[in-house]
Structure 1
Amino acid sequence: MEQSVNESQLWEAFQAGDEEAYTRLYRLHVRAMYRYGLSLVPVSEAFVLDCIHDVFTEIWAKRQRLTVPDNVRYYLLKSLKTRILHLLKRQERPHQFVSQNDFDDLWAEPSAEELQAQEEESTHRQALVKRLIDQLPPRQQEAIRLRFVENLEYTQIAEMLSMNRQSAQNLVFRAIEKLRNWLTPSFLFFFHDFF
């Protein structure tokens, strides 16, 4: 919870025109945005970087009109996806020059504070999902754990639970739908690979 409070304060400082807070927001989220952007569609690294920079340019320009998001990463990932899909739909490609420094910044070592914040956020999310999984019926709990913790195929899950493959898939699907309904939207990006 402290992570979101700190990010809210950082966002408010950025909205007030604090360039250091703006830079920290960029550094905290650029790697995740970069990975997510590349996973969406087969586009060039330069295109994804341009879209990330477009997002940050736009939020700086509109900073005084923005509200404080419940989850900054969710907001930035969603903004990036919107930007990428918009440009692809219009079949435009930004042609700005991307310097080597732009790529170097992506792989700069995070500070101890950034690492601790990321670890706390990850721990909090894992604890939340574990609590939610514990609320599922026992068969759904088992199916979810076999699928996502043990990485078993549906055929193997079916054998473990003495059912056919389709029933195993249905069981996992129903469990995921329950988790989707319980999770806040801000957590869905974190688990989009599973859902």
Structure 2
Amino acid sequence: MDGTLSEQELWIAFRQGEEEAYTILYKRHIKAMYRYGMSLVPVSEDFVLDCIHDVFTEIWFKRERLTTPDNVRHYLLKSLKNRILHLLKRKERPSQSLSQDDFDDLWPEPSAEEIFLEKESSANNEALVRKLIIQLPHRQQEALRLRFVENLDYGQIADMLSVNRQSAQNLVFRAVDKLRKWLL
């Protein structure tokens, strides 16, 4: 099967039972799903991977009843989020606990000297932005990630976050505005 097929063409082939199309969809989206899942539940890689595999198992068994989504990535990310939330509500929480070092890695507190050095070096700007993003409220972090990492439009972000389109735009705008102020 040609790896240059569009997402919709692959989805249609997958719905018809073509395992190769299913494999290509998996390979195209596993990294984005993993990144997004770890942003929602950063303490358990195994839990996130299990949820991703649950999503792909479920869509395989329900493939004949599925419609072709406008945006396959959006559909898969939404399915992953729903799966994670469903399991967390059932108290099937990730079992891995955080050590103090892991906790510090998740919420680093850079020293004034580190911040000064990072501002001076354009090569370190990306690292600085990542550190600052961690300081944003979770919803703003998620909105930024969906907009700039997953390249979803505001309508899709609104759907993922269960808010209206204007609220999705406001979340992204406020996050970018805070980052801009912190960087200047």
Q: Which residue of 2 aligns with 1:20?
A: 20
Question: Does the 8 Å CA contact 2:15/2:63 hold for their aligned counterparts?
Answer: yes
- 1:89–1:187 Cα change, 3 Å: closer
**Aligned residue identity for 2:81:** K
Instruction: Flag as ranges the 4+ runs of structure 1 deviating above 6 A.
Output: 186-189
Deviation at residue 6 of structure 1 after TM alignment: 0.9
Distance across 1 between alignment mates of 2:13 and 2:24 = 11
**What does residue range 84-123 of structure 1 map to in structure 2 within 5 Å?**
84-92=84-92
Q: Quote the Cα distance in structure 1 between the aligned partners of 2:27 and 2:63.
A: 17
Letter aligned with residue 82 of structure 1: N
Give unpaired runs (5+ residues) of structure 2: 96-128, 130-152, 161-167, 174-184
The 5 Å alignment of 1:2-21 reads 6-21=6-21
Alpha-carbon offset, residue 42 of structure 1: 3.2
1:129 corresponding residue in structure 2: none
Distance 2:93 2:60 in 1: 22
Residue 1 (structure 2) pairs with residue 30 (structure 1): no
1:97-150 CA distances to partner (integer Å, 9 max, x unpaired)?
Answer: xxxxxxxxxxxxxxxxxxxxxxxxxxxxxxxxxxxxxxxxxxxxxxxxxxxxxx
Aligned residues: 107
In the superposition, relative to structure 1, how do residues 70 and 40 fare at CA in structure 2: closer, same or farther (>3 Å)?
A: same
- SS of aligned partner of 1:24: helix
Q: Name the structure 1 match of 2:156.
A: 185
1:92 CA displacement: 1.6
Partner of 1:42: 42
Aligned amino acid, residue 172 of structure 2: F
Computed over aligned residues only, the root mean square deviation of the Cα atoms, in angstroms, reads 3.3
**Is the 8 Å Cα contact of residues 44 and 94 (structure 2) preserved in structure 1?**
no
Q: TM-score with structure 2 length normalisation?
A: 0.51
| Higher Cα Rg, which structure | 1
Q: Distance in 2 between matches of 1:194 and 1:6?
A: 29
C-alpha spacing 1:75/1:86, structure 2 compared with 1 (3 Å): same
Does structure 1 retain, via aligned residues, the 8 Å contact 2:47–2:94? yes
Amino acid at match of 1:19: E
- Secondary structure of the equivalent of 1:194? helix
C-alpha displacement at 1:185, in angstroms?
A: 2.0
Q: Which amino acid aligns with 1:57?
A: T
